Structure 1
Amino acid sequence: MAVTLPALLGEEQRALLAPEGAALLHELRHGLGGPFHVLFPERFDANAADFLKVFAGSAVDGRVFYAKKANKAAVFAERAALGGLGVDVASRGELGAALAAGVRGTGLVVTGPAKDDDLLRAAVLHDALITVDALDELDRLVRLAAGLGRTARILLRRLPPTQSGLDHAAPDAAQAQSRFGLDDGELEAALRRCGDPAVELEGFSFHLSGYDVRQRADQAAGLIRLCLRARGLGLRADRISIGGGFAVDYVTARDWRRFHESARPGHFHAGKTFSGYYPYHSPVAGADALRAVLETTPVGESVPLERLLRRHNISLLVEPGRALLDQAGCSVFRVQGVKDRDGYGILTVDGTSLSLSEQWFGSEFLPDPVLVPGAREPVPGPYPACVGGASCLETDLLTWRKIPFPVRPAAGDLLVYVNTAGYQMDSNESPFHELPLPPKVVVDRLDHARPRWRLDR
């Protein structure tokens, strides 16, 4: 039988799974009539405060930009605006949503490859910071800004060296070359073009996959050297962006080790195997990972990154998404049926795996879902079961692993997948089979009594 892999729970999620919170979950399921997501904005606030404390403690001039792609909910962009954070956007839709949430144009950084002219035009008009990914994009931006009689604020994105592969992969993933950024020759050409008054070069950035602290610090030092070179050419160059890549700790080190030591194909429905998993345990995560980057002495340097930044009066921009959403939400499904099959069960829930987006990476969201029984006499377990979606596709499984549930699930029970706010709950959502998209419910406990809730705007 597969081992359990219980998820770490924040205060908000523990309260929601307690008897009073569980009653609220069943009420919400009855009222909403389908699966739904729960959001905890106060947890977002706490995570943001942790990042800001790291900057304050290191005396580094830093700015946090929430990576909006990590979750489509309006409430997190609203909290970013209220908390003085910027927002990282990569489309006109995200840009418009951030502005509507109260984020000023100067608080936006526009990323993404090969941005179209409409997005670039809106970014220039709102005085947003624009990450330039290619020479042809820089040329288009110069012409567009000149035509508007404006100056575009830009960062040049540097192509990183060969690095770990996909963002979700384990640190020992196969090496891969990024498709984002300018190589050294292109950077030289771009620096020459940045003398045009239609653009102001504020600094440099990179897109780095994975969570390697040293690699991120080394690349940051390289950007500092680029800033110094650009200043020698009379350009401003006083900030760098190291993007996101701050891991989230979902499970304990012991449980993560036990999973890897014991996992085999027989623990998964149909003997399913995966090439890799997100590192669900990380010894250094969230704001602590930012602190570790700042305290690392880059290769070729004699002092930590934080001292290099202070010495050269360079600001550091970070763009966390998942790390700001740690413990900030969960996803709730109702069990519709239980089928016994060859020593384990197949649960069918009222949603689909499109609402757990790790399958986008050909992988599995591994932390155990929590069973919240309905009004019934439970049948003692353990009862191993995988979890299938309500579609006609064999591959529509929310969980391939045969979870050892403590009691036998039954129709009417709820399954709560915890800590899904970061990239899981809506990256791939689709009204497949004309099923409605799960609504998002914002919950707070400001009155310290029964939780208050509302639908996300």
Structure 2
Amino acid sequence: MLTSQPVLEPRTAGVRPFALTALRHPTVSSLLADHRSLLADLLDGLGSPLHIVLPEVFEENVVGLGQAFAESGVPADILFAKKANKADCYITSAAALGVGIDVAGTPELVKALAGGVPGHRIGISGPEKDDRLHALAVQHDCLVAVDSVSELRRLAATARLARRQVRVLLRSRTAGQPGSRFGLSAAERKAAVGLCAELAAHVGLRGFSFHLNGYSTAERAMAANEMIEHCLDARRRGSPSAELVDIGGGLPVRYVESRLWDAFIDQNEPAHYHAAKDFKDFYPYGGQSAAQAVRAILAHPVDGDESLSVKARRHGIRFVVEPGRALLDQAGFTMYRVQQVDDRRGTDGYAIVTVAGNSFSLSEQWFNSDYLPDPVLLSARPVADEIFPACVAGSTCLENDLVTWRKIGFPRPVRRGDHLVYLNTAGYQMDSNESPFHDAALPLKAVLRLGEGGGPPRWRLDGI
């Protein structure tokens, strides 16, 4: 499936002791190896940076994740977390595959409906949603995750006026993260369950959801087990249709080989970054894949030796999962054109490569972190192989506008007009933080599919 040629380099003079070679899906490898001219033409014609989105890889990920749940014998409804990427093409793919969408506001709901996803396959999350979103949710039979008793009352009133019943999940705080700002406390949950039974003509309690920070499969399994117990309690208290447990998103993605990641963590220090930047936290780039995480969650023991999946089957529980990043794994990459190279190797030991664009198009800095997989250098003209240490800066007037703070060991000198390709950026990186700063236009997205029978790739602008 995924291919890579990782290289672990020996420690050098505090500049770059290792490579973090990004894993590549075969489709990505084919585009970079066989269709560089097309990529260069797209970047030159559509502007830098340019996001390349690959819906066929997204579709492959949907099928693979569904298989991971099917292996456990527990059915799961997959809702693609729309917030992870704004591209329309992923909604179209979800609609064609019969999977749902998770949205958190009216604009996302409207896009999902317009993209062909029926309302009964749309889940609505987010705290204390407004009345307009409630009205659309009721009208289109969406599944609404409710965070407070006050919201539940408002939603019930909307459903009563529409003479409909709205399907709801009660989002509850977990024992592991009781201080979360999302979800109902134990007392609030108890009151909400009673209110659902009282308002059963207009509110159908379908189950429970939760919010977790982090990627612990054990913690997610234990939280899901709590929700199963809440379903059983709700059934006893007058809501017989409480059968859904929404385990949320939080499924990890592996960007680099695990051994490279372990070596990076072992050797990481501020000297490896521009201005000795000291980052405190990183995404776990070398961790589990999403399918591995699903299997670990479902196999985790929750009641003695009984696994989560066995308990769910025994009680007729169906899971809902809301992956964003996991369904976008390898489903897109971002290209920048090199605008300037400030070669400081003689004084500072590394160069500063300035690209046309800025760090807002690589959103890891939103989390006060750095996007760590090495970018791929596509040279405009051949030059001799030579390790060229450099960080990558944006072209704005901000001192902190660094696309990559880490000193990358490029395999040859970087020149003006070269292209840098940041791999696997579709999940949260591309557009979560983009803005028209300096009155710059927002970057475009080009949708690519490999041609059938070995033909050339087909492309179009997203949304057209």
**In 2, Cα distance between equivalents of 1:338 and 1:222:** 55
Question: Paired residue for 2:238?
Answer: 234
Deviation at 1:34, TM superposition (A): 2.4
- Counterparts of 1:21-420 in structure 2, within 5 Å, are 21-163=35-177, 177-195=179-197, 196=199, 197-235=201-239, 236-282=241-287, 284-298=288-302, 300-341=303-344, 342-374=348-380, 376-420=381-425
**Separation in 2 of the partners of 1:262 and 1:23?**
37
Which runs of no fewer than 5 residues in structure 2 stay unpaired?
A: 1-14
Cα displacement string for residues 348-393 of structure 1 (whole angstroms, at most 9, x for unaligned residues): 101110000001101111001000001x231432111010001000
> Structure 1 runs of 4+ off > 3 angstroms?
none
Letter in 2 for 1:253: S
Change (3 A) 1:309 1:162: closer
1:201 deviates by 0.2
- Equivalent AA in structure 1 for residue 186 of structure 2: D
Between the aligned partners of 1:319 and 1:88, the Cα distance in structure 2 is 6
Letter in structure 1 aligned against 2:242: A
Using the size of structure 1 for normalisation, the TM-score is 0.95
Q: In the alignment, which residue of structure 2 is the partner of 1:5?
A: 20
Structure 2 CA distance, aligned partners of 1:266 and 1:35?
Answer: 28
CA distance in 1, matches of 2:69, 2:263: 36
**Distance between the aligned counterparts of 2:71 and 2:260, measured in 1?**
32
Whether the 8 Å CA contact 1:162–1:178 is kept in 2: the answer is no
Distance in 2 separating the partners of 1:63 and 1:162: 25
Contact (CA 8 Å) 2:176, 2:223: kept in 1 or not? Answer: no
Q: Which stretches in structure 1 are left out of the alignment for 5+ residues? A: 164-175
1:172 corresponds in structure 2 to: none
Q: How does 1:435-454 map to 2 (within 5 A)?
A: 435-447=440-452, 448-454=454-460
Task: Tell me the CA shift for residue 162 of structure 1.
Answer: 4.1
Give the counterpart letter for 1:190 in structure 2: A
Give 1:55 deviation, angstroms: 2.4
Cα-Cα RMSD: 1.2
Q: Give the secondary-structure state (helix, strand or coil) at the position aligned to 2:459.
A: strand
Assess if the C-alpha contact under 8 Å between 2:377 and 2:410 holds in 1: yes
TM-score for the superposition, normalised by structure 2 = 0.93
Aligned to 1:416, what secondary structure does the other structure show? Answer: strand
CA distance in 2, matches of 1:409, 1:16: 21
Which stretch has the larger CA shift, 32-41 or 76-85?
Answer: 32-41
Which has the higher mean CA deviation after the structures are superposed, 378-387 or 333-342?
378-387
* Distance in 1 between residues matched to 2:318 and 2:168, nearest whole Å: 14
**SS of the counterpart of 1:49?**
helix
Per-residue Cα deviation, 1:165-205 (whole angstroms, up to 9, x for no partner): xxxxxxxxxxx932110010000110111020211100000
Q: Would you say the 8 A contact 1:50–1:287 is kept in 2? A: yes
- Tell me if structure 1 keeps the 8 A contact 2:47–2:443: no
- Aligned counterparts of 2:160 and 2:305: Cα–Cα separation in 1: 43
Q: 1:47·1:287 contact (CA, 8 Å) conserved in 2?
A: no
- Secondary structure at the counterpart of residue 153 of structure 2: helix
How far 1:25 moved relative to its partner? 1.2
Query: Does structure 2 conserve the Cα–Cα contact (< 8 Å) formed by 1:161 and 1:177?
Result: no
SS of alignment partner, residue 381 of structure 1: coil
Question: For the residues of structure 2 that align with 1:158 and 1:259, how far apart are their CA atoms?
Answer: 37
Which residue number corresponds to residue 7 of structure 2? none
| C-alpha displacement of 1:140 | 1.0
Contact 2:167–2:205 (Cα < 8 Å) also in 1: yes
In structure 1, distance between residues paired with 2:205 and 2:445: 39
| Aligned match of 2:5 | none
How far has the Cα of 1:39 moved from its partner? 0.9
Find the residue that maps to 1:46 and give its secondary structure: helix
Distance 2:179 2:354 in 1: 40
